[in-house]
Amino acid sequence: MYSQGLIGADGSTVETEEFLEAFQKRVDAEQKIEPNDPMPEGYRRTLVRQISQHAHSEIVGMLPEGNWITRAPTLRRKAALLAKVQDEGGHGLYLYSAAETLGVSREELTDQLLTGAAKYSSIFNYPALTWADIGAIGWLVDGAAIMNQIALCRCSYGPYSRAMIRICKEESFHQRQGYEILLTLCRGTDAQKKMAQEAVNRIWWPALMMFGPHDSASTHSDQSMHWKIKRFSNDNLRDKFVNATVPQAEYLGLTVPDPNLKWNEEKQGYDYSDIDWDEFWRVVKGDGICNRDRIKARQKAHREGAWVREAALAFAEKRAGAADAARTAAE
Amino acid sequence: MSEKFTPLWEVFIRARNGLAHKHAGSIHAADAEMALQAARDVYTRRGEGQSLWVVRSDQIVASDPSDKDMMFEPTASKIYRHPTFYEIPEEVGNM
């Protein structure tokens, strides 16, 4: 989600030196920027792009998991998965609201998602093939998301930072429920453990891709770091995630699908293989396994909800009209 | 865009009896009843509140950030509005 949101972001801006300097001073003093504060156009544009992509990611992220709600193996798992998917819907709405404080309308944002003009995290263009994938998504995908989002809690833009704090608080259960699913499978039959291993094999690399391109290829990072929209580099967060996650995989008795993964005593962290960047860019640019399905599913939901939105507005108008008429009659 | 815009509402939550309602965020809804319902679903999934207010965002009147100094700065010099400004001998005790 998250750092991928900056791909193609245009931070160019037209303000005077004095204006930019005064703004930078506020940012450097760790003063939060609020909706009506003066801000460079490039800052506004970058944030709208990142926050709305983050919101779209939450909404599209409901699809691969929602697909498993009816097939969860127990009532406990079903209730947890339902709550997780509900949270994602809620998180999408917090984030859309944060984006709207920058002067863009909800309708425009929805339109950008449905027409394919806006991006969302590449991870959701992979399918969730087995129940173990639901475990691996919770553990790895939400784990990677949390790693990104904790860093965003200190973003210079107030509404985004506040939404992130709320989301991080709610999301820690997402990762734990995923890990618990895998733990149960790993303690089960050989076939169940195999299913868990295959899920991790599928989801490990796409999860690492969530942190976005290499720092050297992340062209818009510098300006965003300078404005404190993001505060850590993509590679820095990715390393942190790998270091935190490998011991958790060991505890499960699962193998991380990377023959070059090795502890490096000197840097006190893991060395690992390079990501398949061709795959990364292919998925980001729309050619992943599920890109078309995801957009189609959102378009269908939007189309089929149109009559509800129209009816609700018509009813509200009618009632407001009746109230006005009653007031006029009483006067 | 052909569709009509669904109005924006600000959501306020009273966390516990005895506390004030506090701004939690905003939602879109066609009318007040649906706004309350949506606010409940979006902002109180974990026992965050005992009571909800929703207010149409376009009904809120806000001060202009560029007037901040004019509005709020004068109080900085009025230190005599604070109890610590006044000297009371220790013998008098806590006051």
For residue B21, the domain's CATH number is 3.10.20.520
Chain B residues within an 8 Å CB radius of A83: 45
Residue B67: domain span: 8-89
The answer to whether residue A11 scores a pLDDT higher than 80 is no
- Any idea where the domains of chain A sit in the sequence? 2-286, 289-330
The answer to whether residue A2 scores a pLDDT higher than 60 is no
Which pLDDT band holds residue B68 (cuts at 50, 70, 90)? confident
Average the pLDDT over A307-319 and give the result. Answer: 94
Chain B residues within an 8 Å CB radius of A114: none
Confidence at residue A3, expressed as pLDDT on a 0 to 100 scale: 58
CB contact under 8 A, B62 and A36: yes
Confidence at residue B65, expressed as pLDDT on a 0 to 100 scale: 80
Contact call for residues B49 and B57 (beta carbons, < 8 A): no
DSSP state of A69: G
The answer to whether residue A290 scores a pLDDT higher than 80 is yes
% residues pLDDT > 90 (chain A): 85
Average the pLDDT over A17-33 and give the result. Answer: 94
**Shortest alpha-carbon distance between residue A221 and chain B (Å):** 29
Nearest CA in chain B to A159: B25
H runs (alpha helix) in chain A: 17-28, 41-66, 75-100, 106-114, 131-136, 142-152, 158-186, 190-209, 221-226, 234-252, 277-284, 291-330
The answer to whether residue B1 scores a pLDDT higher than 60 is no
Q: How far is CA B6 from the centre of its chain?
A: 23
Considering only CB atoms, B6 lies closest to which of A86, A97, A313, namely: A313
Burial of A299 (0-12, 13-18, 19+ CB in 10 A): middle
Contact call for residues A275 and A205 (beta carbons, < 8 A): yes
How far apart are alpha carbons B34 and B51 in whole angstroms?
Answer: 16
Per the structure, the count of domains in chain B is 1
Q: What is the DSSP string of A261-277?
A: -EEETTTTEEE-PPP-H
Which strands, in side-by-side order, build the sheet including B21-28? Answer: B21-28, B8-14, B51-56
Q: Taking the CB of residue A323, how many other CB atoms lie within 10 A of it?
A: 10
Confidence at residue A65, expressed as pLDDT on a 0 to 100 scale: 96
Of A116-125, A189-198, A211-220, A269-278, which range is least confident?
A211-220
Between vectors from CA B13 to CA B61 and to CA A109, what angle results, nearest 5°? 65
Residue B53 lies in a domain: yes
Question: Which two tokens mark A301?
Answer: 């939901």
Q: What is the DSSP string of B41-55?
A: HHH-TTS--SEEEEE
State whether residue A293 is helix, strand or coil. helix
Residue B45 lies in a domain: yes
Among A62, A317, A256, A51, smallest CA distance to A174 is for: A62
Question: Which two tokens mark B57?
Answer: 């965002």
The answer to whether residue A1 scores a pLDDT higher than 50 is no
Return mean pLDDT, chain A: 93
Q: Is the dihedral of CA A81, A85, A86, A91 positive or negative?
A: positive
Confidence at residue A36, expressed as pLDDT on a 0 to 100 scale: 87
Residue B39 lies in a domain: yes
Residue B2 lies in a domain: no
Contact call for residues A192 and A135 (beta carbons, < 8 A): no
The answer to whether residue B70 scores a pLDDT higher than 80 is yes
Of A8-17, A210-219, A224-233, which range is least confident?
A8-17
Q: Which residue pairs, CB below 8 angstroms and at least 24 apart, start in A79-85?
A: A80/A173, A80/A177, A81/A134, A81/A177, A83/A173, A83/B45, A84/A138, A84/A173, A84/A174, A84/A177
Confidence at residue A323, expressed as pLDDT on a 0 to 100 scale: 84
Confidence at residue B76, expressed as pLDDT on a 0 to 100 scale: 85
Confidence at residue A8, expressed as pLDDT on a 0 to 100 scale: 67
Question: Which two tokens mark B33?
Answer: 């009843």
Residues shown for chain A: 331
Beta-bridge partner residues of B12: B23, B53
How far apart are alpha carbons A176 and A280 in whole angstroms?
Answer: 27
Residue B72 lies in a domain: yes
Residue B1 lies in a domain: no
Helix (H) or strand (E) holding B10: strand B8-14
Which pLDDT band holds residue A130 (cuts at 50, 70, 90)? very high
Question: Which two tokens mark A103?
Answer: 């002067």
Question: Which two tokens mark A265?
Answer: 């005593």
**Shortest alpha-carbon distance between residue A251 and chain B (Å):** 31
Contact call for residues A198 and A130 (beta carbons, < 8 A): yes
Give the list of residues 6+ apart from residue A79 with CB closer than 8 angstroms, or none.
Answer: none
Residue B95 lies in a domain: no
ipTM given for this complex: 0.83
Considering only CB atoms, A37 lies closest to which of B1, B28, B65, namely: B65
Which pLDDT band holds residue B20 (cuts at 50, 70, 90)? very high
Nearest CA in chain B to A33: B65
Which pLDDT band holds residue B28 (cuts at 50, 70, 90)? very high
Q: Indicate the pairing of strand A262-264 with strand B21-28.
A: unpaired
Chain A residues within an 8 Å CB radius of B64: 36
% residues pLDDT > 70 (chain A): 97
Question: Which two tokens mark A6?
Answer: 């900056």
**Architecture of the domain made up of A2-286:** Up-down Bundle (1.20)
How far apart are alpha carbons A112 and A127 in whole angstroms?
Answer: 23
Among B78, B12, B94, B76, smallest CA distance to B50 is for: B12
